[in-house]
A = this chain, B = another copy of it.
Amino acid sequence: MGISLEELQLAARNHGMPLEALRYPLTPAGLHYLLIHYDIPAVDAQAWRLEVRGERTLSLSLDDLRARPAAELAATMECAGNGRALFDPRPVSQPWLAEAVGTARWGGTPLRGVLEEARVPGPTVDVVFRGLDVGLESDEPPQPYARALRLEDALREEVLLAYEMNGAPLPPQHGFPLRLVVPGWYGMTNVKWLAEIELVAEPFAGFQNRRAYLFRRTEDDAGTPVDRMQPRALMVPPGVPDFFTRRRVVEAGPCVLEGRAWSGLAPIGSVEVSVDDGATWVAAALGDDLGRWAWRGWTRPWDAEPGEHVLLCRARDEAGNEQPLAAEWNVGGYANNGVQRVPVTVE
C-alpha cells in the first residue's frame, strides 16, 4: 500500500473509532474519532471569549453562553476523509479506512439566537467561524482554522454552539471550551476551540472552503463544496480478529450481525446486508431512533456456515440516496462511502 511518513504521522495523532464501538448508541468518551488539523490549543477558560461580529459585536464568556437557552441533541459526526485510503490511487492526507466516525450527545445553545442578538447585516452571505488552533496550509502563512457556512445553513435550528459532550464539558481534543456543531455535515464544519464568528457580505475565500474541502475530478477542476454526510452503513466485524492481519474468524452457527447507519441528507430508510459478497441482499431490522441527526442501529441474524464469506452492508436514506458499491474518486479523497467489505472465515 505504501503509506508515507507524512501520512503515518497523521494516522498516529488522529484517532479512529475501533469498529466494535459501533455497538454503543453513544460513543464512549475517548472512542469518538478525532481529526485535529493543527495542534490542540491550550485555552484559559477564564480569559476565553467568543467574539461575534454582526451589526453589533458581542463578546461572550462561557458563563454568558451557559446562561442562554440550552439545547441538546445526539449527532453522528464523520470525517469527510473517511475511506480516503481505500481510493485508488490514494489521495495523500490523513489515511482513514472506515473508522472516522462517532456519535455524541452535544449540549449548548442554538447559534441562531446568538446571531440574531448580534444582528445579521442585510447583505450577509456567509458566516465565518474561526478557532484558536493555528497552522500552515500549502503555501499560505500561519492561519487559524476557519470555515464558513452560508447564512441559511447557519440559521437552521439544529445548529449549536456546544459546550458539553455527553453531559460533561468538552474535552480539550473536542474543542474546549466551545465548538460549532452542525448536525448532518461532515466533521470539518464543526469548528473546534471556537473564538470568533463573523458575518460577511462576500463568499468566504478561506483555505478550508475554497481550496481544501471540494469535490474535484482533476487538480484543475474548480470543484463543488463537500457538505452533508453521504449515506453509509458500517458493521461490527463479527467473531474474533487476528492481531496483525485483523482477519476475522467466526464460530459456525447462528449469530447476529449488527451495526449502524447514517445519512446527513435524510433519515435512514433501510439497511441491507449481504453475506455472499453482494450476490444477494436482505433487509436488516432497524433499531431505536436516537433522533434525526444520530446514526440508526441495525441487526440481521446470520446462520454462519463453515467457509470463506464476505459480508457487506449498505444504507439507503428516505430521500433515495444509496451507498454505492464503489464511490467516485476525487482529488481530495472525500466522502468515500463505498460499501464496507468484511471478509470472515467461519469454522
Residues of A participating in the B interface, judged by any CB pair closer than 8 Å: 1-13, 15-16, 18, 20-21, 23-24, 28-32, 34, 36-40, 42, 85, 92-93, 95-97, 99, 134-137, 142, 171-174, 237, 240-247, 249
- Identical copies of this chain, number: 2
Decide if A3 touches B12 in the complex (CB within 8 Å).
no
Question: How far apart are A133's CB and chain B's nearest CB, in angstroms?
Answer: 9
Q: Are B245 and A6 in contact (CB under 8 A)?
A: yes
Contact A240 B2 (CB under 8 A): no
Residues of B within 8 A of A40 (CB): 18, 20-21
Shortest distance in angstroms between A345's beta carbon and chain B's nearest beta carbon? 10
Q: Count chain B CB atoms within 10 A of each CB in A23, A32, A38, A241 and give the residue with the most.
A: A241
Query: Do the beta carbons of B172 and A28 come within 8 Å of each other?
Result: yes
Q: How far is the CA of A95 from the CA of B23 in the complex (A)?
A: 27
**Which residues of B sit under 8 angstroms from A172, Cβ to Cβ?**
21, 24, 28, 31
The reply to whether A7 and B16 contact each other, CB–CB distance below 8 Å, is no
Question: Complex: how many Å from CA A99 to CA B7?
Answer: 15
Closest to A12 in B: B16
Q: Which residue of B lies closest to A242 (CB)?
A: B136
**Could you tell me the distance between the alpha carbons of A237 and B38 in the complex, rounded to whole angstroms?**
12
In the assembled complex, 5 residue pairs joining A and B whose CB atoms fall closer than 8 Å, in A order, are A10-B246, A18-B39, A18-B40, A29-B171, A30-B34
Contact partners of A242 in chain B: CB under 8 A = 135-137
Shortest CB-to-CB span from A339 to chain B, Å, is 18
**Contact status B241-A173, CB under 8 Å:** no
Task: Return the 8 tightest CB-CB contacts between A and B, nearest first.
Answer: A30-B30, A3-B3, A136-B242, A11-B11, A12-B16, A20-B39, A1-B5, A15-B15
